[in-house]
Amino acid sequence: MFKLSEIKELIKLLDQTSSVHELEIESEGMKLAIRKPDRAESEQTAIPAVPYAYPFAAAPQPQQPSVHPAAPEAAVPSAAPDASRDSQGTLHKIVSPMVGTFYSAASPDSPSFVSVGDRVHEKSTVCIIEAMKLMNELEAEVKGEIVSILAENGQLVEYGQPLFLVKPE
């Protein structure tokens, strides 16, 4: 099983090289393929070239409607004041590193990893993102206080979607 931190490191390494555009790894019966979008793909979609990870033998997923990144902030009343502070750069966004399902706790009968007002440190687990039956723990990566939780338990999240706002210490 691949750890989220290992996948992130592989993505960073792939992004830093200009000679390698695709990487496939097989371990313990699981396959991971990471590739950079080619130049034509980038220009067609008008999105900067960002490496991404996808499962090797992924079944086609039904198309989900695009969610504007500001929509979750607007949907949560307590997030409205925080959104204005975030535009000034005082809050750190914890974003989803992949497409998957957001879980706020380890199991349905367990308490949430974090709640609004909780203090976290760099290695604090804040949620789990399930992708292709793999549970990937997401760490805070910053020391501070959880100001807002922008995703709901069981919600499908997209790559780069903000999940938490943290007031750094």
pTM above 0.85, yes or no: no
CATH of the domain at 111: 2.40.50.100
Give yes or no for residue 163 having a pLDDT over 70: yes
Query: Among all chains, which residue has been given the structure tokens 């079944």?
Result: 59
Is 61 contained in some domain?
Answer: no
- Classify each residue of 130-150 as buried b or exposed e, where b means 16 or more C-beta atoms within 10 Å of its C-beta: ebeebebebbbebebbbbbbb
The Cα 39–Cα 163 span in angstroms is 29
25-82 pLDDT per residue, tens? 777 777 777 777 765 554 454 444 444 444 444 444 555 554 444 444 444 434 434 4
Residue 93 is part of which domain span? Answer: 70-168
The Cα 56–Cα 26 span in angstroms is 9
Average pLDDT, the chain: 74
Other C-beta atoms lying within 10 Å of the C-beta of residue 73: 20
Is 64 contained in some domain?
Answer: no
| Residues 96 and 45 reside in one and the same domain | no
Is 63 contained in some domain?
Answer: no
User: Hey, what amino acid is at 87?
Assistant: S
pLDDT of residue 24: 77
**Percent with pLDDT over 90 in the chain:** 40
